[in-house]
Structure 1
Amino acid sequence: MKYVFATLRTAAALAIVIAIVAQFQSTAAGTEVNPFNFFGYFTMQSNIIAAAAFALSAFFIFRERAQPSWLSYLRALATVVMAIVGLVYNTLLADAGLDGSFNVPWSNDILHVWIPIYAVLDWVLFGDKVKLPFDKLWVMLIYPAIWLVVVLIRGANDGWVPYPFLDPATGYPSVGVYCLLIAAVTILFGYGAYALSRTRILRP
């Protein structure tokens, strides 16, 4: 069974890489690509985190090595951020356009729909993870906090923001509310991920 886990994770990681490359090529064909903008999206960074988590997990499984505890934290983070990507995009951003940054339909579906679904199912169903202590729940906030700080600094300086609800032009009180909402959702989803780290539905 553990090799099934590893194979599925390898396929998911490859799907992410293929989807990102296809979108990058499509964007570059129409305009000069600013990599800081292209990879500045939470979607892109979250999918890269997920791809790394899946690939590293598969590596340890195929090499018959125990997965280190830090990898469970990385996999939990990947689950949380991908769940947020799926939720936010499909409820708030599906019709937003985002300056044509996600204009390859099948790539868009992989990054915003199928990988979020797979990431959650992988974490829920596959029992090759350690129990994560709730007093380390703050670990889930490190990446979103850094991302938000960088986005807000860029928005205040060069005017570029990845998502409309983080645009300073809408007013910093509004942006602040969304930042707090992102933090709250991250903690909520993180709590769920930590709780589910105790499940063992499919054992390796």
Structure 2
Amino acid sequence: MHPWLAPARLAVAALAAVALGFSGYHAATGSTGVVNYFGYFTILGNAAAVVVLALGGLAGLTGRRPVPDPVRGAVVLYLVITGLVYGTVLAKYPDQLTIPWVNDVLHRVMPLAVLADWLIDPPARRLRPGAGLWWLGLPLLYLGYTLLRGWAVDWYPYPFLDPGVHGGYRRVAGACALVAAAFVVVGAAILAVGNALAARRDARHGTVQRGRRAHARTT
């Protein structure tokens, strides 16, 4: 691992933590409220990224066991989708721009940062397709929880999940199908690119992978 990567991870984690703190305080003292604040997928994904980056940075500095690569990949997927959905759908809504610099950090900087981290430090071992399948579990749970809670309290974190907007549940179903397709396609791409970069790194360093273990090539 590059010697500068560990402190860089810690710095990015600190930046995201500050942004989350500012937005959390704004939500707690405003009309959003703490419960609704944690109803945003953006907040959950960035909070997970803070933990993963901070633990990864500490592991790099102390030599402790690194964060499992499937966990890192899941966070990359969630934040890349967050950035894509924000850039293509949500940025035009005024309530998404309450604190502009926070939105920039959480929706633009962090997706690029975790993706760059994945590309610079690819998985230590090849990830099987099954690893990418469980990445979809949290978004599905989040969707079910959000729709049920929205029906109960009449609050939805994102306009495309609100059946009260023109189009009703048919529009919500269509939007969910598009986002689900994006999760599958982007997740497969993240998995494939990570494995390809890992294989290139191993070939450059003179190692080969057999199954789930990497062995040094004998000379």
**Length-normalised TM-score, structure 2:** 0.83
- Residue 202 (structure 1) shift: 7.6
Q: Which residue of 2 aligns with 1:22?
A: 22
User: 2 CA distance for matches of 1:51 and 1:115?
Assistant: 9
Q: Which residue of 2 aligns with 1:51?
A: 50
Bigger mean CA deviation after superposition, 40-49 or 129-138: 129-138
2:80 counterpart (69, 80, 83): 83
2:94 counterpart (85, 97, 100): 97
Q: Taking structure 1 as reference, are residues 49 and 129 closer, same or farther at Cα in structure 2, changes over 3 Å only?
A: farther
Q: 2:8 is matched by which residue type in structure 1?
A: L
User: 2 CA distance for matches of 1:87 and 1:33?
Assistant: 24
User: 2 CA distance for matches of 1:2 and 1:28?
Assistant: 39
Is 1:186 the equivalent of 2:183? yes
Q: What CA deviation, in whole Å up to 9, does each residue of 1:73-114 have, x standing for no partner?
A: 11101111111111111111112123xx65122111100111
Q: Give the number of the structure with larger relative contact order, counting CA–CA contacts within 8 Å between residues 6 or more apart.
A: 1
Is 1:115 the equivalent of 2:110? yes
Q: Does the 8 Å CA contact 1:23/1:102 hold for their aligned counterparts? A: no
Q: Which residue of 2 aligns with 1:142?
A: 137
Could you say what secondary structure the match of 1:138 adopts?
Answer: helix
User: 1 CA distance for matches of 2:147 and 2:37?
Assistant: 16
Q: 5+ unaligned residues in a row in structure 2: which ranges?
A: 203-219
Q: What CA deviation, in whole Å up to 9, does each residue of 1:24-81 have, x standing for no partner?
A: 223444x25521101111111110111111112122222213425xx21111011111
Aligned-pair RMSD on alpha carbons? 2.1
User: 2 CA distance for matches of 1:20 and 1:145?
Assistant: 23
Q: Taking structure 1 as reference, are residues 102 and 28 closer, same or farther at Cα in structure 2, changes over 3 Å only?
A: farther
Could you say what secondary structure the match of 2:164 adopts?
Answer: helix
User: 1 CA distance for matches of 2:4 and 2:153?
Assistant: 46
User: 2 CA distance for matches of 1:65 and 1:130?
Assistant: 17
Is 1:42 the equivalent of 2:38? no
User: 1 CA distance for matches of 2:158 and 2:28?
Assistant: 20
Q: Taking structure 1 as reference, are residues 123 and 88 closer, same or farther at Cα in structure 2, changes over 3 Å only?
A: same
| Runs ≥4 residues deviating over 4 A | 200-203
Q: 2:129 is matched by which residue type in structure 1?
A: F
User: 2 CA distance for matches of 1:26 and 1:34?
Assistant: 9
Is 1:160 the equivalent of 2:159? no
**Length-normalised TM-score, structure 1:** 0.88
Q: Identity percentage over the alignment?
A: 30
Q: 5+ unaligned residues in a row in structure 1: which ranges?
A: none
User: 1 CA distance for matches of 2:98 and 2:201?
Assistant: 37
